[in-house]
Amino acid sequence: MRKICLIYTGGTIGMRQNPNGKLAPVDFEELRKNIPTLRLLPIELEVKTMDRPLDSSEMHPSVWADLANEIYTLHDQFDGFVILHGTDTMAFTASALSFMLRGLKKPVIITGSQLPVGVLRTDAVENLLSALEFAAMEEAGAPIIQEVCIYFEYKLYRGNRAYKRSSNEFNAFSSPNFPPLAESGVRMTVHNELLWRSPVAELELHKGYSNEVGVVTLYPGLDFNALQVQPNWRILLLRTFGAGNAPNSPDFIEFLSRCSNNGTVIVNTSQCVSGAVVHGLYDSSSALERFNVLSAKDMTFESALVKAMLLLSESEDLREFGIKFSSSLAGELTE
């Protein structure tokens, strides 16, 4: 029987209304009571619960590091891992774990639900049972899935390619730049040709992170003169338009040069969720080219931000940062 470790971090899936009528996380035993079919799965399940289950809007990089550390420590004892997590920041955690656990050869499947487990029409039961089934899939003893994924509403996504698209539909996640890795319907269908296989031989734990990353979203009328460059910005993610476009105006160029004088490297990430940043396509991105701006290519915003936070802690050398940032560490971008 496959041995799966289930890590419960919180989220709507395990929430109940408190006396004030607000949803708050409860412990895992509450959840288990509501899914009696869990016992029918041909899986040996071991449950670990975070000391204080969280609403995922309270998530912090230190929790990503704890989770990565736990999986790294338990790696040899289990065939796979399922993490129960709130949907709000699930895509950030999935991206973080995919970069922190380089060389992963086992499934780490993150899931949750839009309705709490005790609610009659909940999506929790299907999401959890299918996530466990995908985590337990094997061929000749080897796990079929060997990467960090998000499972939600009949689809298995590469975790660092997905983002939360809806707060009120069961179909809460989307992966616009990479197709789902698998679907669960009457049959569980896995698209083997899409699965990630890490070139890193041994599992490596990279649990450092840095907060020296800023984010600025462009919009028509943004007053660049009023925008202060923060001294601690080593990286600034600029959320540009379309294929990575920004105005060519003097005040924008002056803002870029203030960033450059501050030693801040700019990453161009588009507000469009589908498609890639292409430098030089339009004249309106030429200012960015002059300042050696890095392209986030077709990475999700979540993935680009988390990758920047984690890579910054690995090296002081921003050139080395640029090389790693621009290449695929865990299938997060199309090269």
Is 55 an interacting residue with respect to ligand ASP (CB under 6 A)? yes
Residue nearest to ligand ASP (CB): 86
Cα 38 to chain centroid distance, Å, stands at 26
Could you say which of 28, 67, 87, 156 contacts ligand ASP (CB under 6 A)?
87
- Gap between the Cα atoms of 297 and 71, Å rounded: 29
Closer to ligand ASP by CB, 12 or 95: give it: 12
Cβ pair 159, 306 in contact under 8 A: no
Q: Which stretch binds ligand ASP (CB under 6 A): 84-92, 126-134, 203-211, 308-316?
A: 84-92
* Per-residue binder mask for ligand ASP (CB under 6 A), 299-328, x = binder: ------------------------------
Structure-block tokens of residue 170: 């069961």
- Gap between the Cα atoms of 254 and 231, Å rounded: 16
Could you say which of 4, 11, 293, 321 contacts ligand ASP (CB under 6 A)?
11
Per-state percent for the chain, helix, strand, coil, to nearest 5 = 35, 25, 40
Question: Least separation, in Å, of the C-beta of 282 and ligand ASP?
Answer: 37
Closer to ligand ASP by CB, 88 or 332: give it: 88
List, by residue number, the catalytic residues: 12
Cβ pair 23, 118 in contact under 8 A: no
Closer to ligand ASP by CB, 20 or 57: give it: 57
Is 122 an interacting residue with respect to ligand ASP (CB under 6 A)? no
Cβ pair 247, 256 in contact under 8 A: no
Is 12 an interacting residue with respect to ligand ASP (CB under 6 A)? yes
- Gap between the Cα atoms of 135 and 133, Å rounded: 5
Is 168 an interacting residue with respect to ligand ASP (CB under 6 A)? no
